[in-house]
Amino acid sequence: MRSTPFWALSEAMLRGFLRDRASVFFAIIFPLMFLVLFGGILGSQDQPKVDLIKVGSVPLVDELPEEARAAFDEAFEVSEEDDLDAALTEVRKGDADVAIEQRGDELVAHYTQTDQVKAAVTQGTLRAFVDGANVAATGNPPAYSFSAERVEDESLSVIQYVTPGLLGWAIAMSAAFGAAATLQGWRQSKLLRRLQLAPVSTGTIVTARVAVTLAISMVQLAVFLGLGAAAFDLQLTGSWWMSIPIVVVGTLCFMAVGLLAGALAKTTEGAVNLANFLVLPMAFLSGSFFPLDGTPTWLQRLSDLMPLKHFNTGMLDVMVRGEGPAAAAVPLLILAGFAVVVGLLAARLFRWDSA
């Protein structure tokens, strides 16, 4: 079987990849460095407390029942200040999140709006303590009770959310750069012309290149999940095995992006730079490095046009959010659509020679 043109080409391409230390580094080692960095920094990170300055005497806080005061201290990192202006200056500078004072029966919170999410959490938490104090003052028990439960599995940690995005970026970078550099390198070295004259069909050449790229992507998937599980207690949930078809179709999509870059550029350096120009902004705008929930609406809509956003969403759904196989259907269709459209465009612009 190895004597067939497909296996001979596949083995040659794989050997070429393994011999190119830069390719191995940027395909596997470099992305893993980010996984280790994010995992080490964020892996055991807890929800930070709100930095609160208590200005003067605040009876509502000082006279909280023991259980309520314990909850208050768990939610807030409390410091005290007698000067209101000094406390407000600290809040404006970002050294504190909120300063509270009591004016008669009114609790006044002075907060910063620079972090709108934390500002909303701070106001809601303080309002809950005020409501609790009102109930305690009237002596009437509340008619309703409240409890909060997370919708995800209790075992989830930050590393669960970091891994799919970084894996998506690694696969996009490897597939796009590999396709761009290979196409332009073969063109400049006249290898494409020699292959055209050899008794090997174009379909065999393309199939061998695709097979090698998919094999590299599967190795990336296995290494990422293996390191995440071994070093950072990564636990897969839901239909995590659906990540395999997502990786396969996603690889084809980003390989098409690389082929387009290789078809447009005149040199190997130009092809790699163009692929980088396409992939790197996509990584930042698709949630690979940070979530997009707090970004402007127009930026979220722009990210919907990028295939890496749908790759990351599909991976999160099946690996983290506990969704079933059906959750991967839409991302797979979108990625496949991108692969077909961009692949056809690359084929249209393809030239056997650099000139």
Element (H, E) at 73: helix 66-75
Kindly state which CATH superfamily the domain 50-138 is placed in.
Periplasmic binding protein-like II (3.40.190.10)
Q: For residue 161, what are the contacts with CB-CB under 8 A and spacing of at least 6?
A: 291, 316, 320
Q: Are 342 and 182 in contact (CB under 8 A)?
A: no
According to the model, what pLDDT value does residue 237 have? Answer: 75
pLDDT tens digits, 172-195: 888 888 888 777 777 776 766 676
HSE-up of residue 270 (Cα within 13 Å, Cβ side): 11
Q: Which residue has the higher pLDDT, 253 or 23?
A: 253
Half-sphere exposure of 196 (CA within 13 A, CB side): 9
Report pLDDT digits (tens) over 261-314: 888 877 777 777 888 888 888 888 887 777 776 667 888 888 889 999 999 989
pLDDT tier, 246 (very low <50, low <70, confident <90, very high otherwise):
very high
**pLDDT averaged over every residue in the chain:** 77
Q: What burial letters (b/e) apply to 167-180, b meaning 16+ CB within 10 Å?
A: bbbbbbbbbbbbbb
Mean pLDDT calculated for residue range 82-100: 86
Residue with the larger pLDDT of the pair 207 and 336 = 336
Indicate if the pLDDT at residue 140 is higher than 70: no
Residues of the chain with CATH 3.40.190.10: 50-138
Please answer whether residues 211 and 251 qualify as being in contact, where contact means their C-beta atoms are separated by less than 8 angstroms. no
**What number is the average pLDDT over the span 102-119?**
76
Per-residue model confidence (pLDDT) at position 251: 94
Q: How many other C-beta atoms are found inside a 10 Å radius of the C-beta of residue 323?
A: 17
With a cut of 60, say whether residue 222 has pLDDT above it: yes
Q: List CB contacts of 71: < 8 A, sequence separation 6 or more.
A: none
Decide: 306 and 150 in contact? Cβ < 8 Å: no
Of 3 and 108, the structure prediction assigns the larger pLDDT to 108
Q: Which positions ≥6 away from 83 have C-beta within 8 Å?
A: 55
C-alpha pair distances (Å), 142 with each of 145, 185, 250, 350 = 7, 73, 53, 72
